[in-house]
A and B are shown apart, each in its own frame.
Chain A
Amino acid sequence: LPRGQPSPVSLSICVALIRPAQCQRETNTVLPLERFRVLDLTEGGYNLGAKVLADLGADVIRIEPPGGSPTRLNPPFYHDDPHPEKSLFWFAFNLNKRGITLNLESADGRELLRQLATKADIVMESYTPGYLEGLGVGYPQLSQLNPGMVFTSVTPFGQTGPFSRFKATDIVSWAEGGMLYLSGDRDRPPVRISFPVSEAVAAAQSAAGTMHALWHAINTGEGQQVDVSAQEAVLWLTILEPPYPILSGYHLKREGIHRGFEFVNWRQLYPCQDGHVSIYLMGGPAGAFSMRALVKWLEEEGLATPELMEKKWEEWSPGDLFRLGEEKALEEIRKVEEVTEKLLARHTKEEIFDRAVRDRILVAPCYDAADLAAEVQLQARDFWKEVEHPELGGRILYPGELVKLSGTPIVYRRRAPLIGEHNQEVYCGELGLSPQDYSHLRSTGAI
């Protein structure tokens, strides 16, 4: 990729670059985290954590080893070209950050990190516990230099415990977090989500934990370490499940397209004319309104039985069915499923979604990436945002605001950084290295 040669920059320009939000935004609003600087030493999906802070306005400096981060090898790639400057994975999770290179394995590199850490409010990292500390730049050492700093560590198994130095990829965290065992068909092994999300799930918790600690640091001046375990973050996706062995003795297993509470088990996914839909088929306070609307639709299409038309759906909650006992409960549920399957097979995803919104039926389409790109609700909320990629000669549409903040809306200020893109800006302009020192550190491989 063509990359602009770093040009000598004056201090005044640097100051503008330090706080890009102020000079590029159309309005004068100050973003919530605008005064805070984050050093991001995480890799992979853990990159989402500092991206959340960057979206909220923080000046996030993504620190990569010289030559580029291994995260840049993560697919998918722009036009399927596996080039380190074309990873869409990198683009997505490093948007709104600046980027510098720094060699942690060199003494000069570590000294630069120490200097950067004295001027930072937050460090986020995902190295194996003990690695940074062994190099003299872990939490114990950096917090000596900067006691008010928040130091967030996000790793597969957290900072303590017998597995803390074990490694993972997505499927390992998905397994040890309990999600894997519960997903898939009974006649095949448990199955993961085909796109890896467990690191991003832990990253979101790392953002939340960092925000908690930052609030505390703002109010008290006291910094601390935040310990996030991907295993525990994934475990938090299963919250309905862990109490079963203690409270009921029931052994939950994966149920494919079905879902349930012990033996109260119903089919959640059905084919429709052009794909699949997900439907909640329970009454009671959670679903009676929906079941009534569904029966009305069944009636219109000649599929409603007298029994369904007369049923008191308020008394058809999972708890009510539980009290009926297994055989009777399942008999009741299967009758509803049978006609529901026929109804849904007659309609398209969009027809079903429209009907769901109009009549308050608890049913929704199973979308894919193409459906999402066309979804009217996302378009109406102006969800997709264009980001300029001059090096690629065009713009890319990104998922937009994480949340809508009325007073301080999230904006995309810059695409993900190129390798070493902000080296000169940060090292010379902000850290105050002389041009001689800077080129020396480049030649020795510290930068």
Chain B
Amino acid sequence: MATARPFDGLKVLDFMWAIVGPMTSRYLAEHGATVVRVDSVHHPDPVRITPPYLGRQPGINRAHLMAEANVNKLSLGINMARPGGVELIKRIITTWQPDLVCENFTPRAMKNWGLDYPAVRQLKPDIIYYSSCQLGHGGPRSAFAGYGHLASAIAGYFHLTGWPDRGPVLAYGALSDFLSPAIGVSAIVAALIHRKYTGEGQHIDQSQLEVPLHYLSPMLLDYQVNGRVFGRMGNRDLRHAPHGVFPCQGDDRWLAISVASNEEWLALRQAMGDPAWAQDSHFDTAPGRKQHEDEIEERIAGWTQDRVAEDLMVELQNCGVRAGVPISCADMHHHPHLKRRNFFRYLEHPEGGTMPHLGLRFILSKTPGTIDRCYARVGTDTEHVLKDLAGLGDDEIGEMAAAGVLEWS
């Protein structure tokens, strides 16, 4: 038998969809929980049809993102719009008695189904019920529907990205979707701990605007205290200089260099062969270097432009200078460090071929998470869930399948 994992025996009924929700319950699925993902063909999760696809072939079972977000989960295919769909869910809650119900719809969706926290609590009084939506429950803009590129905009991330002489640009990706799950799962485990000691369940209400704001807390205090509206600075830093992204050999190859102390400046000087321009005593202190930042950056760029970014990164790090290559997606897959850490994982896909997955977000030394089951088709585990977990009979399952309550893709 495998080593006990942290969430062995934990039962999760997962209504999460898109990215932010499923990425939260994925932690639990990686670490032993039985996570039953409620999924649908008639009302497909939008990420089911989001590129890229396995083998470049679009298809409801073939989207990478759907597989990525739902690793290790069981798929239960239900058309919630059909009569009997909601009743079936209630029955599963009553008989299976999940520890956690989680959802990330706009606030009205679960309520319309009669499956909001007060309703589920009737069926299981100590339920932990996790909700996450763009702007949180309650308040005049609570019904706002959006995705990560919208909550990230509201949270200030795009305003902060770009150059002082230009408008904002996107910080890549649906950023807020990826900033919320770690906090969400921390709150879920805290609620499990609280239940263990007190017997009490509770409702967790997460706003995908409020969580990302916590990463920017010092900047928000700066406004409250000093009235300063933080703006775009390109790649410069409030304190450190030089601090930038410098061109290297090849097309669109760069190296980020960040000098965080006078010792590191000396180390960089040595690495550059201590050229005459760098010996200027004005550059001995950070304020002095900041004052001459344009000149220093130009000089460093002249030195880096004929160098290979990856080699120079290692050379500088070995001298104690902080440097990093802005890696592309192609670079990631043969990055020597990520490779050694076995970061990327590959799972057999039920329609043939191999689906790449991102690895663990943290490694527990004795009970590491596992990534061992590719998530693809709607309803793969419907029979198992209904029979073995919820105790339904074959006849009932057959009737619901015939009535279109159950779905398979």
Known contacts A88-B222, A192-B161, A380-B138; A211/B185 CB under 8 A: yes
Task: Kindly state whether residue B281 has any CB partner on chain A within 8 Å.
Answer: no
Q: Is the CB of B51 within 8 A of A403?
A: no
Q: Is the CB of B65 within 8 A of A240?
A: yes
What is the CB-to-nearest-CB distance from B353 to chain A, in angstroms, rounded to a whole number?
A: 9
Q: Is the CB of A366 within 8 A of B362?
A: no
Known contacts A32-B191, A189-B244, A377-B142; A195/B216 CB under 8 A: yes
Known contacts A176-B325, A286-B147, A363-B150; A201/B191 CB under 8 A: no
CA distance A206 to B183 in the complex (A): 10
Q: Is the CB of A211 within 8 A of B169?
A: no
CA distance A154 to B99 in the complex (A): 30
Known contacts A231-B337, A362-B150; A183/B231 CB under 8 A: no
Between-chain CB contacts (< 8 Å), 16 pairs: A32-B190, A52-B186, A93-B218, A162-B337, A175-B256, A176-B325, A195-B160, A209-B364, A211-B190, A232-B361, A247-B55, A285-B44, A362-B146, A362-B150, A396-B221, A398-B221
Residue of A nearest to B255 (CB): A175
Most buried by A among B175, B216, B341, B356: B341
Q: Is the CB of B210 within 8 A of A378?
A: yes
Residue of A nearest to B223 (CB): A369
Q: Is the CB of B169 within 8 A of A257?
A: yes
Within 8 A of B (CB), among A54-98: 56-57, 73-76, 78-80, 88-89, 91-93
Task: Kindly state whether residue A185 has any CB partner on chain B within 8 Å.
Answer: yes
Task: Kindly state whether residue A405 has any CB partner on chain B within 8 Å.
Answer: yes
Task: Kindly state whether residue B404 has any CB partner on chain A within 8 Å.
Answer: no
Q: Is the CB of B172 within 8 A of A241?
A: yes
Partner of A88, one of B55, B143, B202, B218: B218
Task: Kindly state whether residue A334 has any CB partner on chain B within 8 Å.
Answer: no
CA distance A162 to B340 in the complex (A): 8
Task: Kindly state whether residue A262 has any CB partner on chain B within 8 Å.
Answer: yes
- Complex interface: chain A residues within 8 A of B84 (CB): none
CA distance A405 to B188 in the complex (A): 9
Task: Kindly state whether residue A442 has any CB partner on chain B within 8 Å.
Answer: no
Q: Is the CB of A205 within 8 A of B200?
A: no
CA distance A167 to B238 in the complex (A): 19
What is the CB-to-nearest-CB distance from B191 to chain A, in angstroms, rounded to a whole number?
A: 7
Known contacts A215-B7, A403-B205; A167/B216 CB under 8 A: no
Residue-wise interface mask of B (184-196) relative to A, using a CB-CB cutoff of 8 A (1 in contact, 0 not):
1111011111101
Task: Kindly state whether residue A236 has any CB partner on chain B within 8 Å.
Answer: yes
CA distance A173 to B256 in the complex (A): 9
CA distance A74 to B135 in the complex (A): 30
Residue of B nearest to A95 (CB): B217
- Complex interface: chain B residues within 8 A of A362 (CB): 145-147, 150
Number of A-B residue pairs having CB atoms within 8 Å of each other in the complex? 542
CA distance A131 to B295 in the complex (A): 37
Which one of A5-13, A352-360, A420-428 is at the interface? Answer: A352-360
- Complex interface: chain B residues within 8 A of A250 (CB): 52
Task: Kindly state whether residue B85 has any CB partner on chain A within 8 Å.
Answer: no
Task: Kindly state whether residue B167 has any CB partner on chain A within 8 Å.
Answer: yes
CA distance A237 to B58 in the complex (A): 24
Task: Kindly state whether residue A120 has any CB partner on chain B within 8 Å.
Answer: no
Per the CB 8 Å criterion, the residue count for chain B at the interface is: 162
Task: Kindly state whether residue A254 has any CB partner on chain B within 8 Å.
Answer: yes
- Complex interface: chain A residues within 8 A of B230 (CB): 194-195, 368-369
- Complex interface: chain B residues within 8 A of A57 (CB): 190
Partner of B362, one of A174, A228, A240: A228
CA distance A164 to B27 in the complex (A): 24
Beyond the given pairs A368-B229, A371-B156, 4 more chain A to chain B contacts, judged by CB atoms under 8 angstroms and listed by A's residue number, are: A209-B362, A226-B362, A402-B214, A405-B203
Task: Kindly state whether residue A335 has any CB partner on chain B within 8 Å.
Answer: no
Which one of B272-280, B328-336, B390-398 is at the interface? Answer: B328-336
Most buried by A among B193, B201, B260: B193
Q: Is the CB of A242 within 8 A of B365?
A: no
Task: Kindly state whether residue B385 has any CB partner on chain A within 8 Å.
Answer: no
Q: Is the CB of A167 within 8 A of B183?
A: no
Q: Is the CB of A278 within 8 A of B153?
A: yes
Q: Is the CB of B163 within 8 A of A188?
A: yes
Residue of B nearest to A151 (CB): B365
CA distance A277 to B146 in the complex (A): 13
Q: Is the CB of A33 within 8 A of B221?
A: no
- Complex interface: chain A residues within 8 A of B181 (CB): 208
CA distance A29 to B259 in the complex (A): 47
Residue-wise interface mask of B (128-146) relative to A, using a CB-CB cutoff of 8 A (1 in contact, 0 not):
0000000111111111111
Task: Kindly state whether residue B173 has any CB partner on chain A within 8 Å.
Answer: yes
Q: Is the CB of A75 within 8 A of B238?
A: yes
Task: Kindly state whether residue B322 has any CB partner on chain A within 8 Å.
Answer: yes
- Complex interface: chain B residues within 8 A of A285 (CB): 43-44, 46, 49
Partner of A194, one of B183, B231, B358: B231
- Complex interface: chain B residues within 8 A of A168 (CB): 258, 322, 324
Most buried by B among A191, A225, A268: A191
What is the CB-to-nearest-CB distance from B264 to chain A, in angstroms, rounded to a whole number?
A: 9
- Complex interface: chain B residues within 8 A of A208 (CB): 27, 181-183, 185-186, 189, 361-362
Task: Kindly state whether residue A252 has any CB partner on chain B within 8 Å.
Answer: yes
Task: Kindly state whether residue A129 has any CB partner on chain B within 8 Å.
Answer: no
Q: Is the CB of A88 within 8 A of B225?
A: yes
What is the CB-to-nearest-CB distance from B74 to chain A, in angstroms, rounded to a whole number?
A: 20
Q: Is the CB of B326 within 8 A of A76?
A: no
